[in-house]
Structure 1
Amino acid sequence: MNLLKRAFQRESVDGYLAKDSQMKRVLSTKDLIGLGVGTVIGSGIFILPGIEAAQHAGPAVAISFLLAALFSGMAGMAFAEFSSAMPVAGSAYSYGSVIYGELIGWLLGWSLIVEYFLAVSAISTGFAAYCNNLLKMFGIPLPKYLQAGPAAGGVINLIAVLLIVFVSLIIARGLNTSKKIENGAVYLKIIILVLFIVVGAFFVKGSNYVPFYPKEFRTGWLGLGGIGAATASIIFAFLGFDTIAAHAAEVKNPKKTMSRGILGTVVISATLYTLFAIVLTGMVNYKKLNVDDPAAFALQAVHQNQFSMVITVGALAGMFTAVLALVYASSRLAYSFGRDGLLPRGLGKISIKNKIPNRALVLAVVVESIFAGLVPLDTLAALINIGTLSAFMLISFGVLFLRRRKDLQHDGFKVPFYPVLPFLTGLISLFLILRLPHETLWMYAIWITLGIIWYFTYGIRHSSLNQK
Structure 2
Amino acid sequence: MLQSLLRKKTLTVPHQDSELARSLSAFDLVLMGIGAIIGAGVFVLTGIAAATKAGPAVVISYAIAGLASMFAALAYAELASSIGGTGSAYSYAYTGFGEFFAWIIGWDLLLEYTMAVSTVSIGWSGYVNNLFEAFHIHLPPSLTKNPFDGGVINLLAILIIAALAFLLSLGVKHSARFNAAIVFVKLITIAVFIVVAATHLDTTLWHPFLPFGWSGVMQGAALVFFAYIGFDALSTAVEESIRPQRSVPIGIIVSLLICTVIYILVSALLTSIAPYTTLNVRSPVADALLRINEHMAAAFIAAGAIAGLTTVMLVMYYGLTRIFLAMSRDGLLPARMGMIHPRTRTPVRIILLTGFIIALISGFSPIDRAAELVNIGTLAAFTFVCIGTIVMRISHPDLERPFRLPLNPLIPVMGILSCFYLMLHLPAVTWWRFFLWMLAGVGFYFLYSQRHSFLKS
Class of the TM-score when normalised by the shorter of the 2 chains? over 0.9
The whole-number CA distance in structure 2 between the counterparts of 1:200 and 1:397 is: 42
The Cα of 1:11 is off from its aligned counterpart by 8.7
Residue among 118, 132, 141 paired with 2:115: 118
Shift of 1:43: 2.0
Query: Does the CA-based 8 Å contact 2:47-2:279 persist in structure 1?
Result: yes
- Which of 312, 318, 331 pairs up with 2:308? 318
The Cα shift of 1:14 comes to 2.2
Q: CA deviation at 1:445?
A: 1.1
Q: Select 1:184's aligned residue among 181, 185, 198.
A: 181
Contact 2:144-2:155 at 8 Å conserved across structures = yes
| Distance in 2 of aligned mates of 1:444 and 1:11 | 34
**1:331 Cα shift?**
1.0
Is the Cα contact below 8 Å between 1:11 and 1:102 reproduced in 2?
no
Please give the alpha-carbon distance, in whole angstroms, between the structure 2 residues aligned to 1:47 and 1:358. 33
Match of 2:404 in 1: 414
Matches within 5 A, 1:274-423: 274-406=264-396, 409-423=399-413
* Shift, 1:379, TM fit: 2.9
Distance 1:282 1:461 in 2: 60
The answer to whether the 8 A contact 2:108-2:381 is kept is: yes
RMSD over aligned Cα atoms: 1.6
Cross-structure match for 1:272: 262
Once residues 356 and 55 of structure 1 are traced to their aligned partners in structure 2, the CA distance between those partners, rounded to angstroms, is 44
Distance 1:17 1:82 in 2: 17
Distance 1:11 1:212, change over 3 A: farther
**Which amino acid in the other structure matches residue 336 of structure 1?**
A
In structure 1, the partner of 2:414 is: 424
Per the TM alignment, residue 206 of structure 1 is displaced from its structure 2 partner at its CA by 1.3
SS in 2 for 1:12: helix
Distance in 2 (alpha carbons) for counterparts of 1:318 and 1:269: 12
Q: Quick check: 1:89 aligned with 2:93? A: no
Matched residue SS, 2:368? coil
TM-score, normalisation: structure 1: 0.94
**1:130 pairs with 2:123:** no
SS at structure 1 position matched to 2:34: helix
| Correspondence for 2:48 | 51
Q: Distance in 2 between matches of 1:205 and 1:370?
A: 46
* Structure 1 segment 21-100 matched on structure 2, within 5 A: 22-100=19-97
Unaligned runs of 5+ in 1: 1-8, 219-223
Q: Which moved more, 1:330-339 or 1:297-306?
A: 330-339
How far residue 36 of structure 1 moved from its aligned partner, in angstroms, is 0.9
What's the CA shift for 1:406? 3.5
1:409 Cα offset (Å): 3.2
Superposed CA offset, 1:323-362 (max 9, x none) = 1111111111111121111111122111111111111111
Deviations along 1:113-156, one digit per CA (max 9) or x if unpaired, are 12211111111111110110111111111100011111211111
Q: Which residue of 2 is the match for residue 450 of structure 1?
A: 440
CA apart distance, 1:232: 1.2
Q: What secondary structure is seen at the aligned counterpart in 2 of 1:228?
A: helix
Distance in 2 separating the partners of 1:150 and 1:402: 48
Which structure exhibits the higher relative contact order, with contacts defined as CA atoms closer than 8 Å and separated by 6 or more residues? 2
1:20-67 Cα offsets, whole Å, 9 max, x none, are 861111111111111111010012210000011001000111111111
1:174 aligns with 2:167: no
Identity of aligned residues (%): 36
Does the aligned pair in 2 maintain the 1:114–1:383 contact within 8 Å?
Answer: yes
Asked whether 1:232 is paired with 2:237, we answer no
Say if 1:84 and 1:254, in contact at 8 Å, map to a contact too: yes
